[in-house]
Amino acid sequence: MCGNGTRAVAHYAYNKQIAGKFMKFLTGAGDISCTVDENIVETQMTPPKELKSSFEQYGLKWWLVDTGVPHLVTLVDNIDKFDKDVCSKMRYEHNANVNFVALKDKDQLYVRTYERGVEDETQACGTGMVASFLRANHLNLVGNEAKVYPTSLEELTISQKNDTVYFKGKVKKIKDV
């Protein structure tokens, strides 16, 4: 499951007239519903599953949740405290992506993600941003909607309505295919 990938697939399918504005497709994590409005795509994410409640390791408090893939989330007061050595150790010990999250202003999160498979920091991870939002929301640090900024600094919106999580943002076409 890839949150950003779902938005890209939906945008492509809509622009190639393979699907309409509202579509559903199957991923390894389950059914995904998307809505396309020009260059803005909103994905209904798979239901999250808490894999491990709060625990401490390497001097940080962690939470492990599956948002399509497993993610470890830790809240930090400064996003520059991102530590690749700790990320690498946590990634292998828990077989999960690793997210450092900082709350800047009310309902604004900054997220840095270390992804398994890449084995390094990536510019943006949709399922990681969703996991980070859910942790901040569970701790009442953000409401049911927040702006989330990954390393790429693109502005994305994550919201929760009832028990459903939505991931929304602009999709840019880089090259014709």
Name the catalytic one among 34, 72, 125, 146.
Answer: 125
Beta-bridge mates of residue 157: 147, 168
- Model pLDDT, residue 76: 97
Can you give the pLDDT at residue 175?
Answer: 74
For 33, half-sphere exposure in the C-beta direction (CA atoms, 13 angstrom radius) is 6
Active site annotation includes 2: yes
Q: Which three-class secondary structure string do you get for 15-73?
A: HCCCCCCEEEEEECCEEEEEEEECCEEEEECCCCEEEEEEEEECCEEEEEEECCCEEEE
Give pLDDT tens digits for 102-134.
998 888 999 999 999 999 999 999 999 999 999
Please state whether beta strands 70-75 and 97-103 pair in parallel, antiparallel, or not at all (unpaired): parallel
pTM of the model: 0.93
Query: One of 1, 2, 8, 13 is an active-site residue; which one?
Result: 2
* Tens-digit pLDDT profile for residues 47-60: 999 999 999 999 99
Could you list the pLDDT tens digit for every one of the 177 residues in the chain? 788 788 899 999 999 999 999 999 888 878 889 999 999 999 999 999 999 999 999 999 999 999 999 999 999 999 998 999 999 999 999 999 999 999 988 889 999 999 999 999 999 999 999 999 999 999 999 999 999 999 999 999 999 998 899 999 999 877 766
**125 is a catalytic site residue:** yes
pLDDT of the residue at 106: 81
